[in-house]
């Protein structure tokens, strides 16, 4: 039998809720991709010992944030990316508190305080509060039509501007400014350009995707995106925005002024660590966790982009899925499966752009560099070797062998015998590898 209600004690509202019996209260704060995947992993195992509550400040159930770029580009729609509608939680006996923010964790009382002034108790708390868009130091960011690119709400607003542009089309040009030449900025620029907006992207580094690609590959990428009607200004930053209420222009540090009616700031992410750190949990860049996703308080775990593990934070889902499995194993089966932060390859969700990057991407004296380059065809393939092992791969234009190289990199395979064939494609290096094996077998 489920009891639900509120107890007012010393002027404070406490929740009285729970399944009678000995179920532990498992409270998940944040209902993004990490929470969604954790719920799947918990349900796959035995979650009957827990009464699960999820509380999130977005209205929707957990959705596929990765797919916001294809939604903006018009390649899919919003319903297709909502992985867990409200009925999903209801059908599985999970309590979902939507559109409510957790303001504080009160560890001594083992409860959280919500934006509505209520207190929810927990036996075990999981922080899955993600991150937020990084801020830039430009002036006048309060003007209308300056957006982030993080949530369904952001994309909804951007699509509204694009729809308005569509209605006005041919009468005026809508100039859109995107700040940031990383994965998110490029995907935002591509989506807006597809909507027919005139897009300029300002990036403070000397080439695009400078954290994943070398300068040559960044240049190839720029060329392909210019053909998709995106204009680039590199080595520059926005100093201030201008307009009365509505955005009208942006002035760059170089002094150049750009007319724009819409701006998307996509310069990186900042982990939402404050909730955990204000409660006294250890951490610096994020909430610190051990290899089992436990924080410095044994009754609190953390997963996703709010986490710091061995000094590293996270911005891609692949390692976060591993964190969810580790935590589900510990909570449901009491199994200690350590999380390991392994390298993840980079992909860009822009149709017609084939790129792959994993591991090291800037050549140094320590590397042996193998390069194939065809400027006219726009093909660039670079492998970096150290001690006869692949430690980095950058592919542009033809990324077919990326996964193979990544496997060799992850497995630390000795490629000394196949190195001359590696860039020629799978047929060559596999043949040659098998040849070496059979030669070896004969010799033995
Ligand atoms: C446009 C876009 C494209 C992306 N593309 C890729 C990609 O191609 N590949 C890839 O690997 N990754 C991609 N990512 C990154 C990926 O989406 C994130 O790594 C992932 O969403 C992180 O999951 P999370 O649960 O930690 O954070 P989130 O998904 O952000 O979830 C955190 C949730 O917690 C809520 N919250 C925060 N504070 C509170 C609070 N105090 N109380 C209640 N709720 C709170 C937030 O509103 C949010 O709903 C992309 C991200 C974006 C924005």
Q: Which of 129, 147, 149 to mutate to test the pocket of ligand 1 (most atoms within 8 A of CB)?
A: 129
* C-beta 33 within 6 A of ligand 1: yes
The residue among 222, 214, 206, 219 whose CA lies nearest residue 369 is 214
Q: Are 148 and 265 contacting, i.e. CB atoms less than 8 angstroms apart?
A: yes
* C-beta 182 within 6 A of ligand 1: no
pLDDT in tens, 360-392: 999 999 999 999 999 999 999 999 999 999 999
Which residue lies with its CA nearest to atom 50 of ligand 1? Answer: 66
DSSP 434: H
| Helix residue ranges per DSSP H, 172-316 | 183-194, 215-226, 274-278
Q: 4 falls in which pLDDT band (50, 70, 90)? A: low
Q: Label the pairing between strands 198-202 and 175-179.
A: parallel
Provide the pLDDT for residue 17. Answer: 53
Q: Are 96 and 89 contacting, i.e. CB atoms less than 8 angstroms apart?
A: yes
* C-beta 150 within 6 A of ligand 1: yes
CA 206, 208, 210: angle at the middle one, nearest 5? Answer: 75
State which H helix or E strand residue 53 sits in: strand 50-56
The CATH number, out of the four listed (1.10.10.10, 3.40.50.720, 3.40.1190.20, 3.50.50.60), of the domain defined by the range 146-265: 3.50.50.60
Ligand 1 atom at minimum distance from 114 CA: 42
CA 395/CA 404 separation, integer angstroms: 12
DSSP string covering 329-398: HHHHH------------B----TT--EEEEE--S--TT-EEEEEEETTTTEEEEEEEETTEEEEEEEES-
User: What value does the CA radius of gyration of the chain take, rounded to a whole number of Å?
Assistant: 25
State which H helix or E strand residue 205 sits in: none
Ligand 1 atom at minimum distance from 303 CA: 26
pLDDT in tens, 105-153: 999 999 999 999 999 999 999 999 999 999 999 999 999 999 999 999 9
β-bridge mates for residue 19, sequence order:
2
Cα-to-centroid distance, 303 and ligand 1 (Å)? 11
State which H helix or E strand residue 112 sits in: strand 111-114
Cα-to-centroid distance, 315 and ligand 1 (Å)? 8
The residue among 317, 314, 312, 305 whose CA lies nearest residue 276 is 305
Provide the pLDDT for residue 428. Answer: 82
β-bridge mates for residue 51, sequence order:
25
CA 204/CA 283 separation, integer angstroms: 29
pLDDT at 314 over 70: yes
Q: Are 368 and 383 contacting, i.e. CB atoms less than 8 angstroms apart?
A: no
Cα-to-centroid distance, 191 and ligand 1 (Å)? 19
pTM metric for this prediction:
0.92
CA 331/CA 301 separation, integer angstroms: 10
Cα-to-centroid distance, 65 and ligand 1 (Å)? 6
Q: What's the token pair of residue 433?
A: 């590898």
pLDDT in tens, 10-69: 667 666 655 455 799 999 999 999 999 999 999 999 899 999 999 999 999 999 999 999
Which residue lies with its CA nearest to atom 37 of ligand 1? Answer: 129
* C-beta 68 within 6 A of ligand 1: yes
- All structural domains of the chain with their residue ranges: 4-132+269-333, 146-265, 355-443
Ligand 1 atom at minimum distance from 32 CA: 31
pLDDT in tens, 156-196: 999 998 887 666 655 456 699 999 999 999 999 999 999 99
Which residue lies with its CA nearest to atom 48 of ligand 1? Answer: 32
- Domain 355-443: CATH superfamily, name plus number: FAD/NAD-linked reductase, C-terminal dimerisation domain (3.30.390.30)
Cα-to-centroid distance, 184 and ligand 1 (Å)? 12
Cα-to-centroid distance, 269 and ligand 1 (Å)? 10
Q: What's the token pair of residue 400?
A: 């077919």
The residue among 207, 336, 178 whose CA lies nearest residue 267 is 178
Ligand 1 atom at minimum distance from 131 CA: 30
Cα-to-centroid distance, 128 and ligand 1 (Å)? 9
Which residue lies with its CA nearest to atom 31 of ligand 1? Answer: 32
Collapsed DSSP state (helix, strand, coil) of residue 116: coil
Which residue lies with its CA nearest to atom 4 of ligand 1? Answer: 66
Between 133-137, 149-153, 343-347, 436-440, the lowest mean confidence (pLDDT) is in 436-440
Name the percent of the chain lying above pLDDT 70: 90
Ligand 1 atom at minimum distance from 36 CA: 25
Whether CATH 3.50.50.60 fits 4-132+269-333:
yes
Phi-psi region of 229 (alpha: psi -120 to 50; beta: other; left: phi over 0): left
* C-beta 317 within 6 A of ligand 1: yes
Q: 343 falls in which pLDDT band (50, 70, 90)? A: confident
CA 160/CA 146 separation, integer angstroms: 13
CA 413/CA 390 separation, integer angstroms: 7
Which residue lies with its CA nearest to atom 38 of ligand 1? Answer: 129
- Check if 4-132+269-333 and 146-265 are the same fold: yes
State which H helix or E strand residue 321 sits in: helix 317-333
Average pLDDT for residues 243-264, to the nearest whole number?
A: 95
In the numeric block, the tokens 């569509």 are attached to: 166
Q: Is the dihedral of CA 421, 427, 432, 437 positive or negative?
A: positive
Cα-to-centroid distance, 302 and ligand 1 (Å)? 14
Collapsed DSSP state (helix, strand, coil) of residue 200: strand
Q: What is the largest CA-CA distance in the chain?
A: 84
DSSP 49: T
Cα-to-centroid distance, 68 and ligand 1 (Å)? 11
Q: Are 378 and 396 contacting, i.e. CB atoms less than 8 angstroms apart?
A: yes
Ligand 1 atom at minimum distance from 55 CA: 43
Q: Are 156 and 58 contacting, i.e. CB atoms less than 8 angstroms apart?
A: no
């Amino acid at each position: 039998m489920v009891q639900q209600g509120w107890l007012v004690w010393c002027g404070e509202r406490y929740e009285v809720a729970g399944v009678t019996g000995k179920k532990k209260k498992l409270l998940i704060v944040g209902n993004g991709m990490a929470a969604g995947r954790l719920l799947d992993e918990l349900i796959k195992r035995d979650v009957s010992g827990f009464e699960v509550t999820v509380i999130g400040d977005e209205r929707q159930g957990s959705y596929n944030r990765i797919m916001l770029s294809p939604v903006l580009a018009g390649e899919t729609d919003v319903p297709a990316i909502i992985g867990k509608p409200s009925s999903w939680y209801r059908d599985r006996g999970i309590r979902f508190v939507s559109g409510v923010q957790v303001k504080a964790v009160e560890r001594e009382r083992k409860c959280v305080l919500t934006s509505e002034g209520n207190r929810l108790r927990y036996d075990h708390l999981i922080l899955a509060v993600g991150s937020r868009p990084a801020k830039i130091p430009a002036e006048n960011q309060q003007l209308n039509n300056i957006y982030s690119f993080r949530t369904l709400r952001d994309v909804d607003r951007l699509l509204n501007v694009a729809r308005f542009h569509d209605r006005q089309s041919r009468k005026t040009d809508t100039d859109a400014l995107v700040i940031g030449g990383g994965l998110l900025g490029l995907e935002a620029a591509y989506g807006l350009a597809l909507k027919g907006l005139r897009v300029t992207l300002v990036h403070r580094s000397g080439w695009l995707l400078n954290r994943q690609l070398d300068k040559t590959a960044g240049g190839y990428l720029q060329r392909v995106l210019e053909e998709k009607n995106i204009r680039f200004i590199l080595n520059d930053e926005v100093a201030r925005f201008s307009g009365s209420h509505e955005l009208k222009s942006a002035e760059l540090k170089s002094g150049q002024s750009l007319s724009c009616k819409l701006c998307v700031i996509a310069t990186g992410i900042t982990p939402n660590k404050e909730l955990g750190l204000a409660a006294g949990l250890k951490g610096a860049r994020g909430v610190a966790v051990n290899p089992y996703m436990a924080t410095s308080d044994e009754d609190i775990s953390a997963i996703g982009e709010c986490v710091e593990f061995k000094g590293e934070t996270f911005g891609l889902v692949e390692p976060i899925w591993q964190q969810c499995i580790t935590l589900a194993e510990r909570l449901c089966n009491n199994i200690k499966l350590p999380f390991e932060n392994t390298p993840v390859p980079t992909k860009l969700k822009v149709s017609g752009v084939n790129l792959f990057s994993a591991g090291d991407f800037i050549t140094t004296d320590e590397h042996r560099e193998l390069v194939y380059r065809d400027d006219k065809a726009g093909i660039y393939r670079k492998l970096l070797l150290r001690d006869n092992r692949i430690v980095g791969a950058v592919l542009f234009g033809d990324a077919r062998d990326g996964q193979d190289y990544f496997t060799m990199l992850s497995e630390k395979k000795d490629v000394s015998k196949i190195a001359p064939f590696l860039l020629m494609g799978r047929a060559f290096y596999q043949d040659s590898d098998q040849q070496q094996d059979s030669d070896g077998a004969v010799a033995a």
